[in-house]
Homo-oligomer: A and B are copies of this chain.
Amino acid sequence: MNEFELIERFFTRPARHAALGIGDDCAFIAPSAGQLFAISTDMLLEGRHFLPGADPFGLGHKTLAVNLSDCAAVAARPRYALLAGALPDADPDWVGAFASGLFALADRYDVELIGGDTTQGPRTFCVTILGEVPPGEALLRSGAQVSDMIWVSGEIGRARLGLALERDEAIAPPPAALHAPALAAMHRPEPRVELGIALRGIGTSGIDISDGLIGDLGHILERSAVGAEIHLPRIPASAWLHERALDPQTASWGLAFVLAGGDDYELCFTAPVAKAELVRAAGRAAGVAVTPIGRIRREPGLTVLAADGTPLDVATVKSFDHFG
């Protein structure tokens, strides 16, 4: 099977909304009336973003999911995707399973694959996603206002725990009940697309948690030129992980899993206090828990408070840096 047969067999479908889809040097698209395109690109490498031997169906899901999550973060409705991929070989079983995982998620959100590129090389995927959002309704990192509440969707630290299980890291063994959700969070993250859209006109800023909570929240603080205070006990992580974060024997990794565990693809966003009930309603409408964890303040910096109100020393807790 050559590269053209591979694209034809697994990745070519008739154009739906696009003026022209896969098969030419470019695809042709325009946003719907009254909308802007929100556009983002993400690269995933074997050995860094996913483990060698990863299940191809799950990998197809995750490759698209991390991009849909960028749309969710800015409250855009995902519409089109382009996929560039390097593969060590054109194994039709592997590629077919990957394509199935990718299209299963794409179909749930009516996302159309309109272009791409294939090449031979170490397994690498690069998706470009285009979503639509009305001008002025996007959630930006720069929009947080002093006294806004800080919210987090879903549960934090699960994907990091999944990675620890997968790599058999030397951590205290988690209860059996946490294994499956942790591995699911790591392998099949659920982009919070519906929540992002439901927060239009309610949220003031947003980001998705890909590198870790305090690092990603830090991007909001920096771009909004504000600071924040968050409460460790309010962060929506499992009770077991919270215990590990507090136990001096396990805090070195437990606290990092909660505050800086990457790959959860939950949303962190801010909203005025007066809109707290609208935020809760948006969460219910989108079918995902939303939890307030702190407040935006004028004073720069991020303070993490323990249950007794004292600031924690989180200087050594680092979010993920690809060149760190």
The chain A residues found within 8 Å of chain B, CB to CB, are 1-4, 6, 19-20, 23-31, 35-43, 45, 47-49, 70-71, 73-74, 76, 80, 82-87, 89-90, 114-122, 124, 126, 128, 130-131, 133, 135, 138, 140-142, 206-208, 223, 321-324
Contact = CB atoms under 8 A, between A and B. Distances in A.
Contacts of A118: 322-323
13 contacts: A2-B321, A25-B70, A26-B73, A28-B37, A29-B37, A30-B31, A39-B115, A41-B128, A43-B86, A43-B117, A45-B121, A118-B322, A118-B323
A323 B6 contact: yes
A248 to B, nearest CB: 29
A44 B162 CA distance: 32
B116 A41 contact: yes
Nearest to A37: B29
Given A39-B130, A45-B122, 5 more contacts: A20-B140, A37-B37, A41-B117, A48-B121, A121-B124
B124 A86 contact: yes
Most B-side CB within 10 Å, residue of A26, A131, A138, A207:
A26
Contacts of A2: 321-324
Given A116-B41, A126-B41, A89 B26 contact: no
B27 A38 contact: yes
A80 B4 CA distance: 27
Given A70-B25, A84-B41, A49 B126 contact: no
A131 B47 CA distance: 34
B324 A24 contact: no
Q: Which of A35, A36, A37, A86 has the most CB of B within 10 A?
A: A37
Contacts of A130: 39
Contacts of A85: 43
A278 B92 CA distance: 46
A127 B270 CA distance: 32
Contact of A321 (B4, B20, B47): B4
A4 B211 CA distance: 12
Most buried by B among A40, A41, A115: A41
Nearest to A38: B26
A141 B87 CA distance: 26
B30 A120 contact: no
